[in-house]
Amino acid sequence: MAQPVAGGRIRRVVIRTVLVLAIGAALLAPILYYASTVDVRPPQVDRFTLSQHLPGEDGVALTTSSLEVVFSEAVDHQSAQAAFSVVPKLSGSFSWSGATMIFTPADRLPLETSFSVRLHGQIRDLAGNATGGAGPFAFRTVGGPTIVATQPADQARDVPLDARIQLTFSTLMDTASVQRALQVIPSTQVELRWSGQRLAIVPRTPLLPGQEYAVVLGSAALDQAGTALSPELRLSFTTVSAGLTARTIVPADGTQGVAITTPIAVVFDRPIDPDTVSDNLVTITPPISGSLGLSIAEGAAGLRDDGERTLRFTPSGALPANTTFTVSVSIGIRGADGSRIATPLSWTFTTGAPSSSLGNQIVFLSQRSGVANVWAMNPDGSNQHQVSAELSPLTTYAVAPDGRSLVVGDGARLVELRADGSARRVLTDTGLLEFDPSYAPDGSAILFGRADVKTGSGQGIWRRPPGGGSAERIAIAATVTPTPTASSVPTIAPSAGAGGSAQLAPVLRSPRVSPDGRRMAFVDMSGFAGIVDLRTGAVTRAPFRVVAPPAWLPDDATVLVSGLPVTDGSDGSSAGNGGASLPGGLPTPGIPVTPLTPTGLYLTVAQRASLEIGALLVGGASVRVTPLRPGGTLPDVDADGRIAYLVLDPRLPNAGRVWILNGTSSQSTPVVPDANALESSVHFAPAPQALLVAREPLPSASASPSPEPSSTPSPTPSPTPGPMPSPPVPISGPGGIWLLNLVNETNTQLTLDGWMPTWLP
């Protein structure tokens, strides 16, 4: 009976518990429903913001900014707007975006003003809950746009020519308005490059040296809020003066095929302060070992310039072939007068592949490397490479018959070297001028003229063995040097000075040995053509004003000479008919000997038109007139006796048309004329029925005679390059070295530049 009583008690407890829970749920349900559906919390201000502010500065308003109050919930617009106040007071209008109240001032905010925003009184939400206000929220407005920094500074001096002008503004600017308001004086083409509040003004071309510039930016320049720049900018600066200027870069920028023996040099326009030269002044990439120093101009370039204005890097050995080098010279170098270069120098060049022989090569002069030097190429124009690497411009050269060596000259000094540029050896001693080199046909001797550098007095024709050995003078009976007479006409080369020099020996030039090696033709600049027998010493002389190197005919007894006939006596002291006299045959002391050409001798237009090509026979007393055309010069003869020569054209001072005379004909015929160019030299090529010529482009203007040359030419200057950077070789044009086919009359252009080509078999 005990068990039923316990079970009933448990059931009664469970029932009471269920009833209590049910009654509690019934009472709690209305309370939870009310709490979840009825808002009793007052609204809050989540944040205050400016619609337009400085980047990164949320509390600095642009003058066009609106004020935004973001509430935690939707509120009654009227109560919120009534509670809004700003000090200093602003008029404006309200708008809403959800729970955000936006106050837009009626006018631009005043500049550089601090504001305080508060919400006063009751702001009610949609349920009627009210907040007691909020704030203060502080902010300030920007100042007017200003320029806070400039580079260069105002009134700066010695500003580099490649400098950028930088302006830093106090705020972001309306870039288009700045561009419209900007002026650079003097007028300069620029690009504007922005980086936030910083403006870089980049000139499209280098600034002018020694020029005062002004950068003006007016009040039409606006910031992004449309506020005008204040104050206006006027920035003045002066660029670095022209000061120290690089006249010549060696090798020239962009040159291909440079000799592996080349020095790397910069020739400046004035002497250099040696204290500013150090090893870190020049950077060469890839690196090469060598020595850096200053030197005076060499050879002819140094006759009237003894200042150390050449910065020269001499490599320790040959450069690697087919390698591109980059050279930089820093602005640390200074002139002896304190001047400096405006910008660092930088250029590139690429070496070529040398050849051990110039056999079956076309050799020519070119200044594509910055200074006139000897270059060589294959007969089809390929593998153009520099052979010599002199820093004084060359005017002449001679290649040994075996092609393995050559001699080069600049009108003052002769240098011997191998075909690959190695074994360079200066032949000329101090105090002497040596010029017009040539080789004996068998290669046994180098022949050349010599004169005294101080007086200009001729010292005869000399010869020396190739590869070393002493020079010896070739015995030639002296000619009495005439004193100039009052009737003498203008000279065809610079005279030794007023009054003449009767006691000085005339200069002998252009030795050419006959094919059989027995005789030598030469030019006596006092007015004679000559031949000397190298075995007996017998001399043949005939009056003739020779203006080009002599050329032997195949008979070994006759030589062709181009010049002006002497018509007043046999001593060569005067000339008529467009001829000229040269008192004493002396060059101007201290000046290099110019090439023996009509141009090198400064012939007038009338004299060039009166030129004749004559023949001097061994033992003859006069130069015989030939059937070659008037105005003919620079003859060349092949093994068959054909004669190719130029007839000068008045449109260019140093060029004309090629004519040819066959050995069996008495009439010359023109050869493959070009309407856009004239030839400046002509040689028979080893290839059958071909001529090798150098061409000079005709001026684009209408044809007119060349101007008369000065009777007293200026000394030969040091080499002066064109503007840098510039292509060392023209990219097109009718000039350069050409091969003319005499059979089908076709022209093949081998180079775009160069002169004095020869083709060694």
The verdict on residue 128 lying in a domain is: yes
3-state secondary structure of 316: coil
- Among 118, 141, 164, identify where a domain stops: 141
Indicate if 179 and 118 belong to the same structural domain.
Answer: no
Residue among 258, 330, 263 nearest 298 (CA): 263
541: Cα within 13 Å, side-chain hemisphere? 19
Residue 313, H or E segment? strand 310-315
The single-letter code of the amino acid at 241 is S
Question: CATH code at 89?
Answer: 2.60.40.1220
pLDDT of 37 reads 53
pLDDT of 713 reads 31
Indicate if 77 and 131 belong to the same structural domain.
Answer: yes
Indicate if 159 and 214 belong to the same structural domain.
Answer: yes
Indicate if 163 and 226 belong to the same structural domain.
Answer: yes
Indicate if 133 and 168 belong to the same structural domain.
Answer: no
Indicate if 57 and 131 belong to the same structural domain.
Answer: yes
- Among 239, 259, 279, identify where a domain stops: 239
Structure tokens at 39: 């808002």
Q: Is 537 exposed, middle or buried (0-12, 13-18, 19+ CB in 10 A)?
A: exposed
Please state, in angstroms and as integers, the Cα–Cα distance from residue 236 to each residue in 150, 214, 217, following that order: 11, 4, 12
Indicate if 130 and 162 belong to the same structural domain.
Answer: no
The verdict on residue 83 lying in a domain is: yes
> Going by C-beta distance under 8 Å and a sequence separation of 6 or more, which residues neighbour residue 33?
none
Indicate if 181 and 137 belong to the same structural domain.
Answer: no
Residue 605 zone, left/alpha/beta (φ > 0; ψ -120 to 50; rest): alpha
Structural domain of residue 167, as residue ranges? 147-239
- Among 184, 204, 239, identify where a domain stops: 239
The verdict on residue 312 lying in a domain is: no
Stretches where the chain sits below pLDDT 70 are: 1-15, 17-39, 478-503, 567-587, 700-732
Question: CATH code at 222?
Answer: 2.60.40.3710
Indicate if 153 and 229 belong to the same structural domain.
Answer: yes
pLDDT of 427 reads 97
- Domain total in the chain: 2
Place of tokens 């010493």: 537
Residue among 447, 368, 376 nearest 414 (CA): 447
pLDDT digits (tens, 9 = 90+) for 95-121: 999 999 999 999 989 988 999 999 988
The verdict on residue 565 lying in a domain is: no
pLDDT digits (tens, 9 = 90+) for 670-710: 997 888 999 999 999 998 889 999 999 998 633 333 333 33
The verdict on residue 622 lying in a domain is: no
The verdict on residue 91 lying in a domain is: yes
To the question of pTM greater than 0.85 for the whole model, the response is no
Q: Is 453 exposed, middle or buried (0-12, 13-18, 19+ CB in 10 A)?
A: buried
Indicate if 156 and 176 belong to the same structural domain.
Answer: yes
The verdict on residue 196 lying in a domain is: yes
Indicate if 51 and 69 belong to the same structural domain.
Answer: yes
b/e per residue 562-584 (b: at least 16 CB within 10 A): bbbbbebeebbbbbeebbbbbbb
The verdict on residue 336 lying in a domain is: no
pLDDT of 64 reads 86
Indicate if 151 and 222 belong to the same structural domain.
Answer: yes
> Going by C-beta distance under 8 Å and a sequence separation of 6 or more, which residues neighbour residue 572?
482, 524, 526, 527, 528, 543, 544, 545, 566, 581
pLDDT digits (tens, 9 = 90+) for 269-327: 889 999 999 999 999 999 999 999 999 988 988 887 778 999 999 999 999 999 999 99
Q: Are 109 and 59 spatial neighbours (Cβ–Cβ below 8 Å)?
A: no
